[in-house]
Amino acid sequence: MNVSLSHLSKRFGSVTANDDISLRLLPGEVCALLGENGAGKSTLMKLLYGLLTPDSGEIQLDGKPVRIPSPRAAQALGIGMLFQQFSLIGALSVTDNLLLGARGVPFWLSKRTLARAQHRLRELAPGIDARRLARDLSPGEKQLVELSKVLSAGARLVILDEPTSLLAAPEAERLWRRLRELARAGHGVVLITHKLEDVAACADRVVVLRAGRVVLETRAVSDRDALVSAMLGAPLGRRPLKRAAAVAPPRLSVCQVCAEWGDQKLEQVSFELARGQILGVAGVTGNGQELLGRVLAGLLAPQAGRIALDERALVGPADPRIAYVPEQPLLNAVAGSLPLLVNLHALGVRQLPWWLSFESRRAGAQQLLERFDVRPPELDRPAATLSGGNVQKLVLARELSGEPALIVACFPGMGLDAAASRRLVDELLAHAERGAAVVWIGEDLDQLLAHADQVAVLQRGRLRGPVPVAQADRRELGSWMAGAAA
């Protein structure tokens, strides 16, 4: 199926999300749609999927103009889309979730439809038991089930929106391999991403968007310098920062902490952090990272052990000394229906000040949006209308705007483009330089080794390390992440 987008434009009030974009999507190739957060990538594909209506322009399938008023119409035309947030129903089995995505399934669920859905699953993920509940799957397994669901519905063009944002490295590699296989089988694949490694790993062609316009189209998918320059308008600069020296007593002390939450647990976790130190906690998703973040932020009391900040016990989620960036902030850190102004000042550990409407308060909030490059920087815009990366930047703006003693950052770079990731690193280093203790939980071992003072690995609820970064052995850390015995 050949798809042509001709002179598509889409505006939201005074903001132009897509500006006269023309693009061809071909069968048998993976086309990466690359750009900064807010560049217009997801908006463009939502026009093609029928979630949004273009203000001008035309969509053609195999040379014929089509109107796509809804996702159902897009699916009938052979277009499927996977979003950043999983849509599987956790209480249902994998098989039931696959059947929910199949077209023309009668209420008695025919054997033929079931066999087709299970065949697709075996092709993409032969190791997944179709009887398992969706809530028990890892992020990578959920991603493959979502892809099976879309293909079972007859999609010939598959659009994936930031599909690797929640995946560990092995899961991302498996997804890249599946996408290449789909292209070889004749499907068209559109990969919306801001990650250069996604592009280099599986794309045949890359189209770069900046400020709602196409600025580069190339098959040189490994030319990182050219791609970064096209995304940002200039090469990505780096600003070195010098952190404060560690001093005693420890700023953060975690002693023999045990906790449980859902299917996650922590077992006798202990470490100390001095003022100005950054601890990088690596590990594959699902080994207790989210639980560790919640416990350190005071959202969940440990069942045993003690946590002290500046030699005083934590006082719970209202502790003003803590900044907390949770995993999946759209679900856990913002109220989507409320405006950015309220989300900046009224959520988490903050209370809505009665003088919120005063111009000085609005001016300060506006400066925060601009400092963290939240797009569009409109204080009265509902948070749910932002892209995933801009929601992440909104939470970072709120949590890192003060002078916290402790920063707990869980996958803080999730969904961020190259420039925003660099600003995030600068912010964390600047807070550490001023004396904050930082617990940086992530999966990118190279990034943690580049910026942390100590590194540890969380594996099945147990903490291996910490060890000073200068003494860390990358292969040993990798073996810990894989679950190798001590």
| Domain layout of the chain by residue ranges | 3-232, 252-481
pLDDT digits (tens, 9 = 90+) for 372-429: 999 899 999 999 999 888 999 999 999 998 899 999 999 888 778 778 888 899 999 9
Classify domain 252-481 at the CATH class level: alpha beta
Residue (of 150, 193, 201) closest to 172 by Cα position: 201
- Residue 204 carries which side chain, given as an amino acid letter? D
pLDDT digits (tens, 9 = 90+) for 460-479: 899 999 999 989 887 788 77
232 vs 19: which has the higher pLDDT: 19
Q: Phi, psi at residue 476, to the nearest 5°?
A: -65, -40
In whole angstroms, give the CA distance from residue 180 to residue 192.
15
Residue (of 35, 38, 47, 42) closest to 10 by Cα position: 47
* The pLDDT of residue 182: 93
Rounded to the nearest 5 degrees, what angle is found at the Cα of 403, between the Cα atoms of 399 and 404? 65
In whole angstroms, give the CA distance from residue 54 to residue 5.
11
* Alpha helices (runs of H) in 104-260, residue ranges in sequence order: 111-124, 139-152, 169-184, 196-202, 224-232
- Residue 292 carries which side chain, given as an amino acid letter? L
Cis upstream peptide for 240 (omega within 30°)? no
Rounded to the nearest 5 degrees, what angle is found at the Cα of 393, between the Cα atoms of 376 and 36? 65
Classified by CATH at the fold level, domain 3-232 comes out as Rossmann fold (3.40.50)
Determine the average pLDDT of the residues in 132-148.
86
Asked if domains 3-232 and 252-481 share a fold, the reply is yes
> In a 10 Å sphere around its CB, with 0-12 CB exposed, 13-18 middle and 19+ buried, how is residue 469 labelled?
middle
Pairing of strands 278-282, 437-441: parallel
- The residues with which 25 forms a beta bridge, in sequence order, are 3
* The pLDDT of residue 51: 95
Confidence tier at 362 by pLDDT (50, 70, 90): confident
* The pLDDT of residue 239: 43
- Residue 218 carries which side chain, given as an amino acid letter? T
In whole angstroms, give the CA distance from residue 459 to residue 284.
8
pLDDT digits (tens, 9 = 90+) for 320-361: 889 999 987 877 789 889 999 989 875 443 444 545 555 667
* The pLDDT of residue 61: 96
In whole angstroms, give the CA distance from residue 480 to residue 72.
45
Inform me whether the pLDDT recorded for 486 exceeds 70.
no
Confidence tier at 131 by pLDDT (50, 70, 90): confident
* Residue 105 token pair: 């399934």
Determine the average pLDDT of the residues in 422-449.
90
Given a contact cutoff of 8 angstroms between Cβ atoms, the answer to whether 456 and 463 are in contact is yes
Place of tokens 């002693």: 255
Is the backbone of residue 314 left (phi > 0), alpha (psi -120 to 50) or beta? beta
In whole angstroms, give the CA distance from residue 211 to residue 262.
42
In whole angstroms, give the CA distance from residue 30 to residue 179.
7
* The pLDDT of residue 32: 96
